[in-house]
A and B are shown apart, each in its own frame.
Chain A
């Protein structure tokens, strides 16, 4: 019988632990498909970060290193500088990338560190049970903002792609989401471009995926997708914020 669909060989057979309606699974699949299509699974080292995706070292079928909270860009820097011909990517959540690891993120980007960063922005801390993230929206209720995020007291959400797009070392800063077939296809193309940039030594590429966390948002999977569209996308507009392969900037 003809095989019409099979799981990417860049994923292991370990079942994902992610909650129903969480978009980690889709993004894992996209990353794995890109690694497979580019034929680089065997030369790739992934860096898992602290948060729900920490167990991604069990799921990706490449060599993996688990980093301390926020330190994935530094670990990836050490890896990439040691084995520059290999492919190195980090897979980080919003707390990891934009709170505790912001210094590592900004400096990896400004050095033009030749790595690919997959950034999951779901506006909340998942693993620890739903606390405010640096990307939590104004007014958003979380475990540590029980009356809603008060921007006077808790500050404003960070728009990471916009900020990193100002840095000379950034090759690609693109925000995508995976709420529809169309958007999943756009996300995959962006992820592929992020890895191609690395192979072509163009510098730091970040693909921010606006994502869901139904469990900690207190919503059903379906409601979560709608909440993402209604609340997150207006604050975090999708699009390409920097792309050195466009406009002769390369």
Chain B
């Protein structure tokens, strides 16, 4: 019972409050520095813009008296003002460069991270590989659980095209480039769910490639990780049990892994604990039994062009398989 409560926490958070995806609602040190920089730049920019427009309006409104002196003298009088303005521009630009230099330094990677996670962006979902030399690694998809207040190092890789990892409330974005590994360190200061999205155009379903960073207190995170390491339990519910058989006998198992069964496909997301996730199809649908059924029944209508094929199922089979998915907490 206690475990059940613990597991449903992310769901409650997802349901209870708006998950934040904004560069201005900052929940991590990196994003906070960047937020400050954004406000600084915006402030300076606003002032300069107002000044320029003000000067222009005055220039348009005033009626210069030209009779007294020639154009050369008037130009000579304006010249120092223009030069001063150019110098001011240079000074401001230098100041802003220095400010951004210090921000870069401030958000530079901390020395040690408690956790190393490989993030693989795929068309069009996120694969997270947790490696833990002591306890063994595991794989999950589209939801990245991290302990609160601890720096987490993400190794960003891509097996197909370029994606970009962007969780604005925690950090700036970083691209996932085939043939390279980029490193991004994030830290969440408060427990919560931080939404992110692929920010580099990656093909037809670029619009449906979201992820959630779920920051939890350390002990909750550890419990979650322990559960993730375990193989899928055999469901005790009759429907779900039947669904398991359907899952294993249909093409599903060829692309998806459910640890503890003979389903070992590597093409699609690992479904060992899919029932514990808040959403499916990279944030496209809520992970309810109905949402799951809708997704399995017709993935190409829900998310056209994605790599999950339409597997023809009898209504009974669809119901059972959705029940099985739900049971994989």
| A and B are partners in one complex rather than unrelated chains | no
A residues apposed to B, CB below 8 Å: none
B residues apposed to A, CB below 8 Å: none
